[in-house]
Amino acid sequence: MSTTGNGHNGNGNGNQPIVEAVSAESEVGSAVSGKIAPPPGQLKKADFVSDQEVRWCPGCGDYAILNNVQKVMPELGIPREKIVFVSGIGCSSRFPYYMNTYGFHSIHGRAPAIATGIKCANPDLSVWVITGDGDALSIGGNHFMHAIRRNLDVNYILFNNRIYGLTKGQYSPTSEFGKKTKSTPVGTIDYPINPLSLAIASESTFVARSIDIDVKHLGVVVEAAARHKGISFVEVYQNCNIFNDHAFDSFAERSVRTDRVLYLEHGKPMIFGKDRNRGIRMNGAHPEVVTIGEQGITENDLLVHDIYLKDPSVAFMLARMEQPDFPQPVGIFRAVERPTYEDMLVDQIDAAVAKFGPGSLEKLINSGDTWVVE
Ligand SMILES: Cc1ncc(C[n+]2csc(CCOP(=O)(O)OP(=O)(O)O)c2C)c(N)n1
Ligand code: SF4
Ligand SMILES: [Mg+2]
pLDDT at 252 over 60: yes
- Torsion-angle region of 57 (φ positive above 0: left; ψ -120 to 50: alpha; else: beta): beta
Shortest CA distance to 238 belongs to which of 71, 29, 67, 12?
A: 67
| Tens digit of each residue's pLDDT (9 = 90 or more) over 108-141 | 999 999 999 999 999 999 999 999 999 999 999 9
170 lines ligand 1 (CB under 6 A): no
Single-letter residue type at 200: I
Nearest atom, ligand 2, residue 91 CA: 4
166 lines ligand 1 (CB under 6 A): yes
| Tens digit of each residue's pLDDT (9 = 90 or more) over 54-73 | 999 999 999 999 999 999 99
What is the C-alpha separation between 267 and 205, in angstroms, rounded? 18
Supply the pLDDT for residue 2.
30
Tell me the average pLDDT across 32-43.
61
- Which CATH number applies to 18-247+339-347? 3.40.50.970
Q: Quote the ligand 2 centre to 45 CA distance (angstroms).
A: 24
Pairing verdict, β 102-105 and 83-87: parallel
pLDDT at 33 over 50: no
Q: Quote the ligand 3 centre to 164 CA distance (angstroms).
A: 4
In the chain, domain spans: 18-247+339-347
Supply the pLDDT for residue 41.
73
The set of protein residues with a Cβ atom below 6 angstroms from ligand 2 is 56-57, 60, 62, 91, 161, 165-166, 240-243
- SS3 per residue for 327-363: CEEEEEEEECCCCCHHHHHHHHHHHHHHHHCCCCHHH
pLDDT at 17 over 90: no
Tell me the average pLDDT across 185-203.
98
Split at pLDDT 50, 70, 90, the class of 11 is: very low
Split at pLDDT 50, 70, 90, the class of 103 is: very high
Q: Hey, whose CA ends up nearest to atom 2 of ligand 2?
A: 240
Single-letter residue type at 15: N
12 lines ligand 1 (CB under 6 A): no
Mean pLDDT, rounded, of the chain: 90
